[in-house]
Amino acid sequence: MPAPARPFAAYLIAALLVAAGVGALWFLRADLPVLERLDRASLDFQTQWRAHVAPAAQPGLVVLAIDDASMRRFGGFVPDRHTIAAAVTALHAAQARLVALDILLPAPSTPDQDAELAQALRAAGNVMLPYALVAGPAPRPGAAGASAAASPPDDPGAAVLASAFLRWGDERAAGAVAMKPTQLLAPLPLFADAALATGHVSTPSEADGSLPYDLPALPYDGEVYASMALRIAAAAAGAAWPAADARLGREVVAAPLRVPLDARSRQWIDYYGPAGTFATVSLVDLLDGRVAPERLRGRVVLVGATALGAGDHLPTPFDASLPGVERLATVVDNILSGRVLREPFWGGPAELLAMLALPLLAALLIARWPMRQALPALAATGLLLVGAAQWLFVAQLVVVSLAWPLLALALGSFVALALRSAFESAQRRRALADLQASERRYALVAQGANDGMWDWDLTAGRVYFSPRWLELMGLDEAPNIDAWTLPLEPPARLAFDEALAEHLAGRSQQFHHVLAFREGGVERWLLARGVATRDAAGRALRMAGSLTDISEQQRLQRQLSHDALHDRLTGLPNRAAFMERLRQAYAAPRVEVGVVLVDIDDFRALNESSGTQLADAVLRELGQRLATRGNGPAQTVARLAADRFALLFIAPLLPTGVDAARTAAWARARFDTPFELGEATLALSGSAGWAHSTQRLETPDELLAAAEMALAHAKSHARGQLHYYDPAEQLVENSRRWLREHIDRGLADGQFRLFYQPLVRLADRKLLGFEALIRWPHPERGMVMPGDFIPFAEESGQIVPLGRWTLREAARQLVAWDALGFEGEIAVNLSGKQFSDDDLGAEAAAVLAILAERKIAARRIKLEVTESMAMANPQATAQALQDLAAQGFKISIDDFGTGYSSLAYLHRFPFDTLKIDRSFVIRLGAGREAVEIVRTIVGLALALDKQVLAEGVEQESQAKLLQELGVHVGQGWLFAKALPATEAEALICKALSGT
């Protein structure tokens, strides 16, 4: 099971501690050989996994072995100088390309033999000799053993110095080299001078005696000396030794050879296989003439001891005792074939990152995942890393040690598993404690719940029923399981047996059955519950459970179910029940249905004046009167809302347009008789509206909505009315609903636009300003004219936000035109709703703020109010207009002469312009009456020193006559129709240019 997430911090801390501990050991490994051996073990594993490979150097390498046969022939591990000279001569005769002696020659022998060997070396001209750099107080024997011990000379000699690098760098890296020599054990100068070259064969061994690396460049006494292997490879490759360059801590370059070094200037050896991997020739066979010259011609021959007792053997990944001369051959082949192992620059950081990440990964997976997923995932992670490292090793010769990261992964996993085990043990202890507490709690709850308990052992056929169980079932005893069905009727017994069999067969997770029976004439309900335990095959062995008395809950549920469909006050069906019966009626084929809605007139006033108790009595009485027709399939009476009742009847309509029972008229007539309620007698009236499904009302909702519309129409006319649904009213209502929804949406979406009709001075036709007129270009219905939506907006109150938008938009447009040089005014119509329902003072302040952007005077906004609107509440209107005028706005009285104004109030209005209605302008040519009315209005305006504007000017004759009558300004199609803002702007530009 997954470990709890709660203690994850503990996992995290443990992982970090593991990473820190492994990281600390990783940093100390260079100083502790035991720890460094872990890296070597990793490298040995990778080498063994790769398996054997064949040498690949060109020219090929041959080992001339001083083997057991040679040792028996010559009587020792190191042949005498005469034998070595004979071997050199034979190799020279076989035309070997290069000969390297893995034998230290620091001490003299007999003069004759030394001279013979020196002569052989000089004659061959291709022989290389080793020397030793010793780190310690005493010299160690040479690679294959020295002929005699001797103290190193003070001067290494010119021949040995010639093996040193002429070019080398990075003195700081010299201090990190893996070996610090204190002595130099050189060959006799006689031999060194006769040799082709010399090289050191010194490398410190590991604790187990292994030599996993070579030292191609070893500093000593201010010089950097080349290894024997490097000198052999350089000579075999034809490298120019004076140009060789030792870059300590990085690489050695002896073109065309390049040997990578690690930070301690080590060359890691890529071992190929066990002893005998290289071609080998016995010294005895060579001297006895049993070796064909072809085997040696053009080859590099390395001469050294291979006999088991020689002492110059070391362990490798493939062999527990590899001769030192074969190790030398391996290093030479590595250099010549370019198969030198290297540690990448990113290896150390990658190891550190892995040592940190892997314990964290182990902690995360073990803490969060199930064990069957976490452990395989961690194993897969380790295998993936090993596989990647092995691919780098085989394909790229790159050594990335996974010993420490895998150790971190193993330790991190172990610690995380230990923590998880500890947490799960604690969790199990808590679970056991909780279980015990739960058992005690359940026993207490069962006692407190007063439930009956039962336990049935199916295998033994025994059953236990508690005393409370017997009491609930009304039994004195219960000998077997059949006691469950004793008080039940046969159908109920069958249902119980089937439910019990279903659970015993495993087809239900829990047994849950309600027993219903009568006891002493009272209905009882008992809830039987239980669960079976099963064997491995799924067979029920034991079943136990409880028995609960739910009689009271069932009675309450019945009451709730009844209340959900009935009105508590009247006992009639409620709206939900009524709609269900209406849907059932519609579902029946070829059934004609009618709905009558009845509403008490002024019921709210009755409720407020007489109190809720009397109002409730009225509702109960009305419900009883309406219910006298009965509630059944053909007739349903319901209470839908506070004082609204509904009657559903199923009957066709007669040719007279009513049903035979005249249900609607009958329902409304229930108000004809006064309501006798105790000492109170109330004469009430009610309105009724009704509709019938034959009016193409195809759904219950449509029928009820139609009846509600008919009722609303009845109540809107007079008290006590009866109205039959007219589909034409639906069209009007749909239009009103559409306007109600879309006006607000149009304002929000920016659908409305202002058009501007020019105001022209009649004397010279100069453009004085514009009247802003709202238009509605609807995206679906096209242009909706003001006459189609303004009256409804006035009625619904939506004219207030429309007027607010119009006023501000006109102000913004004036600001824009002012920037063009326009100096005229814009007139905006105000609605009466804005005076009563809106804060005109706040709106005026908003307009002034807009005008302030260009310091435009408020007088350039003219606010128009109709005469009839002003006279609806003259005192309030006069005060509001005076406040607006005080802020600088101009006021215009629109449609003057068409209302019911009193001249007594006219002087109270602070207006600037009287606007003559277009109805008078149109009739100017029809007779003297219109002319005299206009003359009177003009005279009144001139007497009050006000401007006069005539709207609806469509003919030139009308304009001339109006000018003669003293009208100052004209507006109408003669000059221009209402223009979009862009066209009005073009007209302004034209007027400003004088064209």
pLDDT confidence of residue 293: 93
Instruction: Give the H/E segment covering residue 755.
Output: strand 753-761
Distance of CA 367 to the CA centre of its chain: 24
Q: Cβ(130)–Cβ(201) under 8 Å? A: yes
pLDDT confidence of residue 903: 55
Q: What is the pLDDT of residues 500-519, one digit of tens each?
A: 889 888 888 899 988 888 88
For 744-993, which CATH class? alpha beta
Tokens 């009935």, residue?
566
Pick the most confident of 91-100, 716-725, 782-791. 91-100
Q: Which of the four pLDDT bands, split at 50, 70 and 90, describes residue 140?
A: very low
Phi, psi for 160 (deg, rounded to 5): -70, -40
HSE-CB of 519 using CA atoms within 13 angstroms: 15
Q: What is the pLDDT of residues 267-319, one digit of tens each?
A: 999 999 999 999 999 999 999 999 999 999 999 999 999 887 666 788 999 98
**Burial, 322: exposed, middle or buried (Cβ in 10 Å; 0-12, 13-18, 19+)?**
buried
Instruction: Give the H/E segment covering residue 939.
Output: helix 928-943
pLDDT confidence of residue 100: 97
The architecture in CATH of the region 569-725 reads 2-Layer Sandwich (3.30)
**What are the tokens at 398?**
């790159």
pLDDT confidence of residue 812: 96
Alpha-carbon span 876 to 909, nearest angstrom: 11
Collapsing DSSP states into helix, strand and coil, what is residue 204? Answer: coil
Going from the C-alpha of 50 to that of each of 361, 397, 670, the distances in angstroms are 29, 11, 108
Residues of the chain with CATH 3.20.20.450: 744-993
Residue 519 forms beta bridges with which residues? 522
Mean pLDDT to the nearest integer, 453-477: 87
Write the DSSP string, 852-920.
Answer: GGGT--GGGEEEEEEHHHHHHSHHHHHHHHHHHHHTT-EEEEEEETSS---HHHHTTS--SEEEE-HHH
* pLDDT at 149 > cutoff 70: no
Higher pLDDT, 439 or 375: 375
Residues of the chain with CATH 3.30.450.20: 450-556
Mean pLDDT to the nearest integer, 70-96: 90
Alpha-carbon span 844 to 602, nearest angstrom: 41
Phi, psi for 301 (deg, rounded to 5): -110, 125
- At position 212, the amino acid (one-letter code) is P
pLDDT confidence of residue 838: 66
pLDDT confidence of residue 146: 40
397-406, 815-824, 825-834, 836-845: which range is least confident on average? 836-845
Q: Cβ(854)–Cβ(819) under 8 Å? A: yes
Pick the most confident of 211-215, 554-558, 835-839. 211-215
pLDDT confidence of residue 637: 93
Residues in the chain: 995
HSE-CB of 396 using CA atoms within 13 angstroms: 11
Q: Cβ(887)–Cβ(844) under 8 Å? A: yes
pLDDT more than 90, % of the chain = 48
96-110, 256-270, 462-476: which range is least confident on average? 462-476
pLDDT confidence of residue 905: 59
Going from the C-alpha of 583 to that of each of 577, 579, 706, the distances in angstroms are 10, 6, 15
Q: What is the pLDDT of residues 203-221, one digit of tens each?
A: 998 877 889 999 999 999 9
Q: Cβ(896)–Cβ(917) under 8 Å? A: yes
Residues of the chain with CATH 3.30.70.270: 569-725
Going from the C-alpha of 830 to that of each of 790, 802, 838, 892, 919, the distances in angstroms are 12, 10, 11, 10, 21
Q: Is the pTM of this model over 0.85?
A: no
Mean pLDDT to the nearest integer, 95-119: 94
Higher pLDDT, 43 or 75: 43
- State which fold the 450-556 domain adopts: Beta-Lactamase (3.30.450)
Alpha-carbon span 666 to 349, nearest angstrom: 99
Q: Cβ(915)–Cβ(947) under 8 Å? A: no
